[in-house]
Amino acid sequence: MNKILNLVFILISLFALVQHTESLPLDLGRTTKNILAILGIATFYDVEAGLGSCGIQSSASEFVVAVNHEQMGNEVNPNNNPRCKQQVKIDGPKGKSVMADIVDTCPGCNYGCLDMSTSLFQEVCGGLELGICKIKWTFV
């Protein structure tokens, strides 16, 4: 009797292994965007101090950023940079997502880092007293 039960158990186990299954569709759009997200540090600066490298005058109330020099890739005439006026989507440390326009280059920022207007920094990170915060962002 034990041999029959063992044989039945083995057959059921084998059937379960070869049974047809359907895979769920993979959302490549969302997966790819998560893979391509850039991790970095956010800081803020006085965007009203003068024109940015894109030749745009901004105000502190606007959601604008200066991209680090490596990812900005300025050419001979930085005003013609294709990154100028492009948008970035920024996720702050508490998960809040905010869109901002690229208007400047941050020569002192490391790869992955963004320098923000004060209003954008407050929206993404919290108070200015923090000085810096961790972010995840992508070019849009």
* Model confidence pLDDT, tens digit, residues 48-62: 999 999 999 999 999
Domain boundaries, the chain: 39-139
Please answer whether residues 89 and 96 qualify as being in contact, where contact means their C-beta atoms are separated by less than 8 angstroms.
Answer: no
How confident is the model over 60-117, as pLDDT tens digits? 999 999 999 999 987 777 778 899 999 999 999 988 899 999 999 999 999 999 999 9
Token pair listed for 96 = 């809040």
Distance CA(121)–CA(140), nearest Å, equals: 19
Residue 138 CB contacts under 8 Å (≥ 6 apart), including other chains: 33, 36, 37, 38, 88, 89
Distance CA(89)–CA(36), nearest Å, equals: 12
- Among the CATH numbers 2.60.120.380, 2.40.40.10, 2.140.10.30, 1.10.3720.10, which is that of 39-139? 2.40.40.10
The residue that leads in pLDDT, 75 or 46, is: 46
